[in-house]
Structure 1
């Protein structure tokens, strides 16, 4: 039941209002539209044993929609559960598909903003793949800040021009700025979103020619496609083009571009700091009213999608057909724990060799190499991200594994 609100026309039907301060705009209430209980608080901390995996701490995902700015957040998120250390394994650069995307992105940014012989700072650099690539292609110098960084993990000719700081980004690193500041797939892990963007703005100061680039998952696709596999605990913050652009303008930036890429899964924003508030609206921004409709669509259809996949896995198990999941990361964890069907999958593979022999938190499945499918011979391989289907099909063909490939 909806409750009275000062913004009644922007409250999605079928939601419940809770008192909650929006981390992006400060609005005082949120409309809850999706709940998943008892899920692992991390999905990329690989466990050394089955028991440690199944005993992994759990929390709740309760998504709330801000009727003022359109931001979506987990209103039950507890930042105390955040633990990004060197064993946090989210590196994607073992995929040719992903590497091709990263190369094209780096090349485009270098060309567009003349990033040659410049200083580049990356907030949340993970193992440093993209930062090193930017420094290689543009002969740049770099600073990467991330608690999960591992110096020397990625071999690069630019290694001597890049400094890694194994820590969380904060005000104490504000002296590290340059001509380009990027932050890829990190903001969605940050609960206090406005605070992070504000810290970046303060670090830039009056250097108004600095380019800011952020990349995050697009919540618009999650809502319209009911992509529940992209909703998990450590992703506490969810943006669409409109809500992201509104945040950047609010914190003292002009939005130069906002767009989707990588099969429309990734949301990108390019911005510059400004001395006076910007009112420039980008054509890609949707209104809060449109987001209300998207939230209502998600809420009305998510039950059917969850039911379909649960029934599919149960039928495959009952018929004695073997199913393997390709991709052991966050999507896999969300897929199995949201459905409550982790016992229906016996085989999980991943292209990342640093995951092999480890166990998935909250699920307990051992992660195996793709080559293990030659012995397992599955009847079906469920791919956690459709953009990798061609790459995976080629690997299966090369290994002589004949199976049905299905993308979630």
Structure 2
């Protein structure tokens, strides 16, 4: 794994300057964080260790736009990414996430009167959220996602009103305007953000008043907490409230609501089509983000050193180390820290991931119940919001071990 120098020289920054911002079009952005040789597909399921070790690799080259505060991976290569039925992203097997997901659906149904309405989701994954909207309001839903697996919804109550299209979104999928259009945890995978939002806006009219709801990872937290595990190749677009709002306002939407949710991990925005197009100037929050960006390389290097030492010390002491969570955070954690040899295995509550192998390092993903035989000395939890849920599971297995949370 090759890293840029944590203090990234002025010469290197100069060479990287000039890449245009895909969010606002500003021509002067600055490179501030680079990682090379990372897996380009963090959520693909690999059948063999050899296949996982031979996965496609690319680079992370984060640029910051001083105009709108947007951050993007200029090293993103769409030809190296794959979204197919091998892509396993669902979090619905977690009781913690399921409660959040249901509560979010309830709030949206109540706030926007979504009963008996036409709803659409771009990037619907396996369709769980559309089914919730159908169940709660007897809504009719269409979901578009190349990783969708329609068969998984067979026999699920409410799914009879949901149609999944396993394709990439195109304007033709939205010939008739829906009453509610949502896009959750997808925009961060889109490199040409302004073009994408403008395409959606072109298919909507003010008269119909379609409510648009987007959810993305919240980047202010990533910068502030040095959450390097939340930075990976296929997340090519990183938003704070400022850059997300400016994107929608600049593409012809009136923003009606923004919120930070799920332990400050998710940023949401709600908007309506509008004839007015506005761009905010001199937003003081951009300067605050710029300062976090300036100090990020040095701070994140120290943060990585802490976690590398924690895992290596445990391994050197003869304690078995297990990561809990096998998604993108775990792939980033393992490959960023170079800990392939010190981590014994990875576990995940999602049964669809069991007995597959982690991209980049080839770790086998085992069911949580297998940990009773493995007897870990240290479990590293990839997302601290699941700490109590995981601690309960560990106690029920009769295990006594240290649990450390990112």
Give the TM-score taking structure 2 as reference length. 0.94
Q: How does 1:7-406 map to 2 (within 5 A)?
A: 17-154=16-153, 155-278=155-278, 287-406=285-404
* Contact kept? 2:229, 2:330, Cα under 8 Å: yes
* Structure 1 CA distance for aligned equivalents of residues 326 and 102 of structure 2: 24
Aligned-pair CA distance for 1:81: 1.4
Query: SS of 2:177's equivalent?
Result: coil
Instruction: Note the aligned Cα RMSD (angstroms).
Output: 1.7
* Contact kept? 1:323, 1:381, Cα under 8 Å: yes
* Structure 1 CA distance for aligned equivalents of residues 18 and 291 of structure 2: 22
Relative distance call for 1:208 and 1:145 in structure 2 (3 A) is same
* Structure 2 CA distance for aligned equivalents of residues 66 and 99 of structure 1: 35
Relative distance call for 1:65 and 1:280 in structure 2 (3 A) is closer
Aligned-pair CA distance for 1:63: 0.4
* Structure 2 CA distance for aligned equivalents of residues 15 and 101 of structure 1: 43
* Structure 1 runs not aligned, ≥5 long: 4-12
Query: SS of 1:27's equivalent?
Result: coil
* Contact kept? 2:358, 2:365, Cα under 8 Å: yes
* Structure 2 CA distance for aligned equivalents of residues 112 and 293 of structure 1: 36
Aligned to 1:9: none
Query: SS of 1:97's equivalent?
Result: helix
* Structure 1 CA distance for aligned equivalents of residues 185 and 213 of structure 2: 11
Q: Deviations over 1:42-63 (max 9, x none)?
A: 0100100000000001001010
* Structure 2 CA distance for aligned equivalents of residues 14 and 399 of structure 1: 50
Query: SS of 1:167's equivalent?
Result: coil
Q: Deviations over 1:50-99 (max 9, x none)?
A: 00000001001010001111111111111111210011000100000000
Aligned-pair CA distance for 1:30: 1.6
* Contact kept? 1:17, 1:29, Cα under 8 Å: no
* Structure 2 runs not aligned, ≥5 long: 1-8
* Structure 2 CA distance for aligned equivalents of residues 15 and 367 of structure 1: 42
Q: Deviations over 1:371-400 (max 9, x none)?
A: 011001111110000000000011111111
* Structure 1 CA distance for aligned equivalents of residues 368 and 338 of structure 2: 25
Q: Deviations over 1:256-299 (max 9, x none)?
A: 11110000000000111112225799xxx862111101212322
Aligned-pair CA distance for 1:405: 1.1
Q: Deviations over 1:339-388 (max 9, x none)?
A: 11122111110000000011111110110000011001111110000000
Aligned to 1:10: none
* Contact kept? 2:250, 2:279, Cα under 8 Å: no
* Structure 2 CA distance for aligned equivalents of residues 316 and 71 of structure 1: 38
Number of residue pairs the alignment of both structures matches: 396
Q: Which moved more, 1:296-305 or 1:41-50?
A: 296-305
* Contact kept? 2:322, 2:379, Cα under 8 Å: yes
Give the TM-score taking structure 1 as reference length. 0.94
Greater than 3 Å deviation, 4+ residue runs: 13-17, 278-281
* Structure 2 CA distance for aligned equivalents of residues 176 and 381 of structure 1: 49
